[in-house]
A and B are shown apart, each in its own frame.
Chain A
Amino acid sequence: MMSWHRIRLAGVGLSVLLLLAACAGSKAGSGPEPQSAMGAQGEAQPEPQAPPAPSEAKDMSLPPVHITELNNGLQVNSIVADQLPVVYATLVIRSGGESDPAKLPGLSGLVAQMLKEGTTKRSGAKVAEEIEFLGADLWASSDEENTYVGVRALTEQFDSAMGILAEVAGTPAFRAKELEKLKRRELDRLALSEREPRYIARRTFYRQLYGKHPYGTVDTDARAVKRVRRTDLERWHREHFVGKNAFLVVAGDVDPERVSEAAQKTFGSWNPGKRAVPTYVDPPRPSDRRILVVDRPGSVQSVIYLGNLAIARANREWIPLMVANQVLGGSAASRLFMDLREKRSLTYGAYSAISERVDVGPFVAYASVRTEVTNEAIGAFFEHLERISEEPPEPEELLNAKRYLSDSFPLKVDTPGKLSELVVELRTFGLPDDYWDRYRQSIRKTSASEAQYVARNYIRPKDSLVVVVGQAADFAQSLQQFGPVTVVSPDGELKAQFEDKRPKAGNSGAQRGPIH
């Protein structure tokens, strides 16, 4: 039983790490390498059986979302999912990293963490003790768009849990002494993170891709942590934790009327304030490929991030692009995984994704590969990015991608916690209320030409940003066959530059990597 505990509660606890060592292929497996591979079975075998066909699909309807609004503008969403006596309540503040002051990247995240460090009524230790005594969990965090304070409890504890949620979110003390402690922990955490190759790759990639745009900040930094003062936290909290800039999502074994009453009781006294609308600085719009190598001598692997600015979540082309990405790299059945892992054995996994953002979000392809094959892997990435943007997917690939995305939807709604996330997504990105009801149908309607058309617009190997974290001496210079290469240290100090040695554009202008 203990593993549930530690994985859910302790986060990076001991057993998580032990399990890591034990775990198998993150998604061991394979994909639509169509029929050709069947030859492995030999010839004299009897005719292979076909896999069983599905029985009739069950229709599934989502539980309705009950919406009410408090006098101060705070919207309350409740969903009844009462199979088990549990409830999830999430308060969403509609401001996150996009609202950090330029000089204090990560401020919203620090505010979130400080919420749990004590209220005007009692210490952080007392708050933690009370919530944990209930058998409940309380968390606070922020991302690019929002700041979240959530609680999960048994239904019997709903009122108590809501009370603590509101106390923590509404009346944090931001005690100077606790802030100093948090700063020290944050500095240690940052120093440790900066040794992790994937962290370095992510941070560098987003900074390069977005420049001064707020999405360029994936984490706070030591300078901001040292600089931040209690008054910065208080001001940010006062401005953003207001009725019109917040909504509540409650899902589980609850009665919507009781939820409204509890919300009124706990959040009704908040100031209405106003909805905070972020301003987005324009990100750079590059017209050519850039390759940035972060030298990490001693690395046994190279971490590769490769991509470009793509699309906002609310854009109508999001769904066709998601379908194209599914063909390319969305899962262990997609082209990247099938080729880079299953065929060429370069990596434990290669994937691609489009990230959900209010403003323009990124397309990113990524893998960790052993150092010797860095060059080959980047060539393979470009080959697949070119193919998805130049040719429509094969009919079977398209069908499979759509079936995966639409038919796996029930797995996204099988717990109250997951139902809550869908509502948060609706509100965050301003999607219509019936979005999830029509979602599967929209996926199924995507045509091959639509998938290709959006891929051509949003997946652009010709002006990709490539970030590689690894032992530069082994591969950096050879990457000039893909474009101009800059080598820096993890602190950003320039170490070397190699000029663009792409063969001059012949026919398509797109560069093919040397494969095999």
Chain B
Amino acid sequence: MGTALGVLVAAATLFVGSNAIAEQNTAALSNLQVTRASLENGLRVVMNQDDTVPTVAVSVYYDVGSRNEVEGRSGFAHLFEHMMFQGSANVGKGEHFSLIINRGGSANGTTSNDRTNYYQTLPSNELALGLWLEADRMRSLAITQENFENQRMTVMEERRQRIDNQPYIPSMLRINELAYGDYWPYAHSTIGDMQDLIDAPLGAVQEFFDTFYAPNNAVLSISGDFNAEDAMQVVQKYFGDIPARATPVFAEPAPPVQVSERTETMYDANATLPAFHIAYHIPPNRSPDHYALEILALVLGDGESSRLYQSLVKKKEICQDVAIGTDDRRGPDLFSVWAVMASGHAPKEAQNAILAELAAIADKGVTDRELEKAKNRIRAAFVFGLQSNMARSQRLAEFELYWDDANLLKLELDYYLAVSAEDIKRVAGTYFEASNRTVLNVLPGADPASEEK
């Protein structure tokens, strides 16, 4: 009796609660102060004022990533990113970071398939410093043989530390090669092949800079405690006279075509347990089906109450860990599964269970409660994701760069909330054919084929 009543009360509270969440969330998003502008040289500027704390985040996103690399130059976009910290006309070698750190800030840059970003958070009275540093390297990067050799070595060390010496990381690179096949932009890794890093010539650095690092190929995004009009004057002063240049439009190859299942087994000497990847081709991020696929992935693998975590890790105990998600690329995307087996279990056991679960959703769909849970998670993630100046400046920059309008971020939640149970059932029945699937098994130990003398 008592229990039943408790459940009813709880259910009623939740119902009221989630309506309230929806309003709060929509408010938090639509209350975002976003100002967009652009300079005559084509630099797009996004400003988001929020005076919660006296800090300011500055992000610059360039429309170049490893997808723009040509064959034989894998890893170059990332190697170039390192060069951006090596000095420019008014900034000495080694000074970029020290100027920021020594004034109380922090900074970094990252390279992905789709873009390269640079970002810093500073005390709000140092906004001019962040803008000046970004403008100086956009205008006048210092490219020397010495800097280049130093950064080439650093990147090779980064590869050894983060990939070659770690369990299960080499397979993360291999699954993309296998699934994307001839689709070079996403088939090759962002970190690059060792040999390509060794072969990269100094001349390519200037060429890369001239090709991609133009103001009209970038978005500058500022979030935090500042005044937009004052900031625009500073932006104009530092960036306004950087000349626009013709930049190439990304020549998107025909999307990857797969006609039959691909499978491969690789060995990982640093691993202790078998593991596997499964990848399915899906449409690009923010295409209509992508939202439904994201929610499907949440139902299957997000959190400890998700279907696959409960069945594979907790009930059957055949997996040590399982992760499911869309990779969220601008171009042709993947729906990815990654799992590490529990000791004594082979990948096949878990793979069969996952395929059966996908088939069950294509057949019966997800429950109302699962769908509502996934949407509650997304609503909350939007609010938590807006907390820091850095997170806001990056999300807004990305929307401006990829989708031409930072304000679209304010509407983004609506697309997720609009996904219906029927949509999920439909996409589950559309994308998970065997012929669209790539499976990579990872076995612990050295490759027996390579052990012969």
Contact = CB atoms under 8 A, between A and B. Distances in A.
B289 interface: no
A206 B189 CA distance: 36
Contact of B169 (A17, A154, A416): A17
Nearest to A3: B328
Given A14-B338, A342-B150, A132 B305 contact: yes
A277 interface: no
A333 to B, nearest CB: 4
A347 interface: yes
Nearest to B340: A192
B191 to A, nearest CB: 5
A62 to B, nearest CB: 10
B377 A403 contact: no
Interface of A: 1-6, 8-10, 12-15, 17-33, 35, 37-38, 40-41, 45, 48-58, 60, 81, 83-86, 116, 124-125, 128-130, 132-136, 152-157, 160, 181, 184-185, 187-189, 191-192, 194-197, 298-301, 331-333, 338, 341-343, 345-348, 368-370, 399-401, 403-404, 406-411, 413-417
A45 B93 contact: no
Contacts of A410: 53-55, 104, 123
Interface-central residue, B150, B154, B169, by most chain A CB under 10 Å? B154
Given A400-B98, A411-B106, A5 B343 contact: no
A409 B54 CA distance: 10
Interface in B57-109: 66, 78, 81-82, 85-87, 89-99, 101-109
A32 B98 contact: yes
A28 B108 contact: yes
B381 A4 contact: yes
B93 A125 contact: no
Interface-central residue, B20, B107, B325, B389, by most chain A CB under 10 Å? B325
Contact of A191 (B21, B92, B273, B297): B273
A449 to B, nearest CB: 21
A52 B165 contact: no
Given A17-B168, A133-B369, A25 B304 contact: no
Contacts of B112: 19, 22
A243 to B, nearest CB: 26
Contacts, number: 377
B450 interface: no
10 contacts: A1-B381, A12-B323, A30-B85, A57-B125, A128-B305, A156-B17, A160-B13, A185-B313, A188-B273, A407-B105
Given A10-B301, A197-B165, A30 B317 contact: no
A30 B96 contact: yes
Contacts of A49: 90
B161 interface: yes
A60 B53 contact: yes
Contacts of B378: 1, 5, 135
A157 to B, nearest CB: 6
B97 A191 contact: no
Contacts of B85: 25, 28-30
A48 B10 CA distance: 67
Given A3-B328, A5-B381, A411-B106, A345 B154 contact: yes
A154 B21 contact: yes
A10 B302 contact: yes
Contact of B158 (A25, A55, A132): A25
Given A125-B314, A191-B272, A403 B154 contact: no
Nearest to B136: A49
B302 A51 contact: no
B157 interface: yes
B106 A136 contact: no
B294 interface: yes
B92 A38 contact: yes
B123 to A, nearest CB: 5
Given A28-B82, A30-B85, A37 B93 contact: yes
Nearest to B389: A414
A420 to B, nearest CB: 13
B309 to A, nearest CB: 9
A84 B343 contact: no
Interface string B278-321: 00000000000000001001100111110000100110010011
B225 interface: yes
Nearest to B20: A156
A33 to B, nearest CB: 4
Tier of interface size on chain B: 35 or more
Interface string B384-428: 111111010000000000000000000010001000000000000
Given A23-B162, A191-B343, A369-B157, 5 more contacts: A29-B85, A133-B305, A135-B376, A404-B103, A410-B123
A184 B342 contact: yes
A406 B338 contact: no
B263 interface: no
A152 B89 contact: no
A299 B160 CA distance: 9
B327 A18 contact: yes
A132 B304 contact: yes
Given A1-B381, A38-B92, A156-B24, A20 B165 contact: no
Contacts of B157: 301, 345-348, 368-370
A21 B108 contact: no
Nearest to B176: A18
Given A1-B385, A1-B416, A333 B97 contact: yes
A41 B107 contact: no
Nearest to B97: A29
B327 A128 contact: no
Given A21-B190, A403-B103, A414-B389, A56 B125 contact: yes
Interface in B361-390: 369, 372-373, 376-389
B352 interface: no
B271 interface: yes
B113 interface: yes
Interface stretch (B36-44, B126-134, B204-212): B126-134
A57 B189 CA distance: 43
Nearest to A138: B304
Interface string B160-191: 11111111110011000000000000000111
Nearest to A126: B305
Interface string B220-240: 000001000000000000000
Contacts of A152: 384
A72 B328 CA distance: 50
4 A-B pairs with least C-beta separation:
A407-B104, A29-B97, A30-B94, A135-B380
A192 B164 CA distance: 16
Contact of A21 (B90, B106, B169, B320): B169
Given A3-B328, A15-B327, A348 B303 contact: no
Contacts of B273: 188, 191-192
Nearest to B118: A24
B257 interface: no
A195 B167 contact: yes
B110 A23 contact: yes
Contact of A338 (B91, B94, B144, B340): B94
A298 B17 contact: no
A468 to B, nearest CB: 14
B324 interface: yes
B144 to A, nearest CB: 6
A399 B108 CA distance: 22
A130 B17 CA distance: 13
Interface in B10-59: 10, 13-14, 17, 20-21, 24-25, 28, 50, 52-55
Nearest to A180: B317
B216 interface: no
Contact of B93 (A13, A25, A40, A409): A40
B270 interface: yes
Given A1-B382, A3-B328, A14-B323, A195 B270 contact: yes
